[in-house]
Structure 1
């Protein structure tokens, strides 16, 4: 399967969608608090995108019914928003994709709700650093395996695990494009990175076992041992000048 390389104009389109995603995450960071529900957050995200001329691309994708994935505590990913109020000390990953004029950008972020603990802060720090280590390897001439190796090395060094069954992906006109971005395996292998590729780098990190099971809805994946999981994701363009994060907001 061939990788679709993006032109500078294409990347500008993805960047514009990414700015909406980034602004939405920044707004969310100030709204998440004990007592707020993920269903309220989902409605906020959908309204935020529509008001800016975009649409939530996840809604309807392969039958998914919401504008966001909202994954709380031991839900590793693809959690359904619901009416259960968040509690102080929870963590919640909000994953969203904006479609602006046909171009898509994708970003997930794990937030601490209310008060935190040292263990929770450490998990999020490791997960964010793993993503950042992966982004540093997104250079022309490197390989997908270099990204995965950097992510896995960080997790193992910190006594955590990558949940291996979930991947990053190419993105552009479609949410999921070739290639897949795995977060395990040896460096120097897999698809060779080229200028013009746009991919998501989005490892999911847990302090427990890396195994998951699916909820009855067929979407939400929970850790098998109940350990919490954190995920940070950016949409990244690969350029000769280095990786460009198209969804940066912090």
Structure 2
């Protein structure tokens, strides 16, 4: 009887000794779950604090390269177009296929519009402004049949932005060409506490700020350059161009 009692006490002791590890494992699992839940809550809170403008899709302006732009793709496209392709059919400008008709579903129009945007981007990267705007006009006309769908409206708005950027870039290039044709060349800068003067080739005297030179107005004279305000007769828009000392229109065209 005594030995039986001792055996029962020993079994009870062993059972109580095994219990803490099970309890510890459960506590660790619960703690891990709490940490994971807290991390998810922190991530959700961080996402909620992100401003809406940071969630927008970035589209770098025409003529201002961005560090995130795919330069390798751009250079390959420009070299291929210059070497083999025609302006009407640039390399890697995918054909969107048959334009969707009013009988087609909106999904087909969305897929077609995405391919058209890719083609327009390739024209823009190759500085083919006329081709890009023509493709934009055609795509907008086709997609306008499905304007009742929000996704299609978003595509149309994006294509309109590409059209506006291409139009602006073309106008800027035309104005730059007209400004270069004036042949303005800065011979030197005469510094003065009352205001610096620019020595310009062909001018009878040094010019100051607000003086007119060949239809342009000098708006700034720096230590090594002169800033001009140029008005394009075609659209009456104003542009600011620079000329550095010793630089002429030809060197500016080679190094835009």
| The two structures share one fold, judged by TM-score above 0.5 | no
**Structure of higher RCO (CA pairs closer than 8 Å, 6+ residues apart):** 1
Return the index of the structure with the highest Cα Rg: 2
- Structure richer in strand, relative to its length: 1
Shorter-chain TM-score tier: under 0.3
> What TM-score does the superposition give when structure 1 sets the normalisation length?
0.23
User: TM-score by structure 2 length?
Assistant: 0.23
The structure whose residues are more often helix, as a share, is 2
